[in-house]
Amino acid sequence: MLSQNVADRLRAIVGDKWFLDSSEDLATYSYDAFLPEFIPDAVLVPSSKEEIALILKLADEYRFPVIPRGAGTNISGNSVARKGGVILAFHRMNKIIAIEPENMCAVVQPGVVNADLQKKAAACGLMYPPDPGSMSVSTIGGNVALNAGGPRGVKYGAAKDYLLGIEAVVPSGEIIRVGGKVFKSASGYDLTRLLCGSEGTLCIFTEIIVKLVPLPAARATLQAAFADVEDAARTVSAIIGAGIVPTTLELMDRVVLDAISDYAGARFRSGTQAMLLIEVDGEEGSVGELGAKIEKFCMERGAVEIERATAPEEAEKLWAARRSAFGAVASIRPNCIVEDATVPVSMVPAMIKKIVSLAETYRLKIGVLAHAGDGNMHPLIMTDLRDRDEMTRIEAALNEMYEAALGMGGTISGEHGVGIAKDRFMTMEFSETTLGLMRGIKRVFDPNNILNPGSFL
């Protein structure tokens, strides 16, 4: 609960119109795309870094939590007021300040929608590579806070690889600038990249400088069907192992394909146990060659059918099926838990095998979706939160799954973030010493733990 005094002072900072405490506002800022929901004490929609500085100063003084929220599409529970406090929304800080082709960068406010930046960059012949599934709604601020990736991550990496600089407000109310429009710097600790993936726990971004790359001239998309999921998994490892770097390399297993069929009416060749969706980009000539090379790879490793898109509309069709996967799977049972275990690419076959066996052992319905090219698994667990017994079995399965992934040299989260979704697994991945270092960093930035308290640490 905010005291009247604090509420009044917050109102004075952002103006009455942007201090939201109606029941409709509190209800609609109580959730993100993860499961638990918490009603905040208020929602603030500031317009400038100066307002944010005043807000944080007040929060630090009166010790109330501040939770920054982009579009609230994260699936790690990072944008909810789990310990009360105020939600900080960036709807009004949504300007693309500049796109600078000569510096191959863009300067944006945190509320800029990823897809909008993509559009403006494309008009200049440029591309911002991170393409999370949520890109039509998610914001750059959120993407950077979660180190978002996406299917293009195989070739291009994630937000961290395209982050040049950040301006932010720290909990004391001071404003810091780290990085800049330079591609490299050897001065001081790399706070820029530390902040990337910090899940709103260290400071509040007010301006972000991102790196752009040239928009590829051509793309080729192909879809390969396999009668055996292991064949598909081994093909993934083989492609990457041969030094071929497609732009995207997605894998869907039979469970996922069935869901898509039922949902979208797409027809897949009978006997297909797994599908790879592969895209390559580059110059006109090389794209064709690369596509042919990959096609050969797939055929040599057991692909039973290959479909190649020769026009953008055909590529769209192939992608539409992939994009509908999550929604299709999630509509089968009341809830869908998406996990994010990521392993070295050579371990993809083993990890998939492990997931499938866990589904059997614990009697769970799991579909395997994966950004297979970078080892990022997305087991989709179809369930019903009300089924206590199943929840217990899922917990046991997850424990085993993460142990396996970590044992293979992987990580508990490839791109979704930890938040309150996977915080209980942090001790599996990191030693007490490492966690101690992380907590120390948090303390230095935020001694009074006002920013997104309860998230991952």
Partner 1 sequence: MPDPNIAEQFDQCIKCGLCMATCPVYKELLLEKYSPRGKVQLARYYTAGSFQLTDHTRDVFACCLLCGACSATCPSGVDLREIFLAMRESIASERGLAQPMKTVVDSLAAYRNIVGEDNLERAEWLEDLPGSQVSSCTGDRADIVYFVGCVASFFPMVQGIARNMVKILKSSSSRFAVLAGEEWCCGYPAAAAGAPDHLAELKAHNIARVRELGASTVVFSCPSCLKTWKEHYHTDLELLHSTQLIARLIEQGTLSLGHVEGTLTYHDPCDLGRQGGEYAAPRKIINSIPGVSFVELNGTASQSICCGGGGNVETADPMLSRLIAEKKLAQIKDSGADVLVTSCQQCVRTIKGAARRTGDPVHVMDITDIVVKAVDASERKIKQGGPSTAASGRPAR
Binding positions for partner 1, rule: CB under 8 A: 20, 22-25, 27-29, 31-33, 45, 71-73, 89, 91-92, 113, 115, 134, 136-138, 263, 323-324, 326-328, 330-331, 334-336
Residues in CB range of 346: below 8 A, 6 or more apart: 237, 241
Nearest to 126 by CA among 218, 209, 213: 213
* Residue-level length of the chain: 457
Smallest gap, in angstroms, from Cβ of residue 345 to partner 1?
28
Q: Where are the beta strands (DSSP E) in 133-292?
A: 163-169, 175-179, 204-211, 213-214, 218-226, 248-253, 274-282
- Name which of 57 and 317 has its Cβ closer to partner 1: 317
Least distance to partner 1, CB of residue 89, Å: 8
Looking at beta carbons only, is 3 or 136 nearer to partner 1? 136
Residue from 397, 396, 363 nearest 379 by CA: 397
Beta bridge partners of 336: 382
Q: Which is nearer to partner 1, 31 or 62 (CB)?
A: 31
- Give the nearest distance from C-beta 343 to partner 1 in angstroms: 25
For 23, 350, 413, 436, the CA distances from 82, given in Å and listed in that order, are 18, 37, 21, 23
Of the pair 71, 303, the CB lying nearest partner 1 is at 71
Q: Smallest distance, Å, CB 35 to partner 1? A: 9
Q: Please, which residue, 130 or 282, has the CB nearer to partner 1?
A: 130
Nearer to partner 1, 133 or 282 (CB): 133
Q: Tell the smallest beta-carbon distance from residue 94 to partner 1 (Å).
A: 8
Rg of the chain (C-alpha set): 22
> What is the identity of the amino acid at 381?
I
Strands of the 19-20 sheet, one edge to the other: 19-20, 42-44, 86-89, 66-69
Q: What are phi and psi of 196, to 5 degrees?
A: -75, 115
Q: Which is nearer to partner 1, 123 or 444 (CB)?
A: 123
The smaller minimum CB distance to partner 1, of residues 77 and 179, is found at 77
Question: Minimum distance from CB of 283 to partner 1 (Å)?
Answer: 27
Q: Whole-number minimum distance, CB 408 to partner 1, in Å?
A: 29
Written as six digits, the tokens of 43 are: 């929602």
The distance of closest approach from Cβ of residue 330 to partner 1 in the complex, given in angstroms and rounded to an integer, is 5
- The rounded distance, in Å, linking the Cα atoms of 197 and 37 is 22
Angle at 272 between CA 270 and CA 276, to 5 degrees: 140
In angstroms, the CA 201 to CA 188 distance is 21
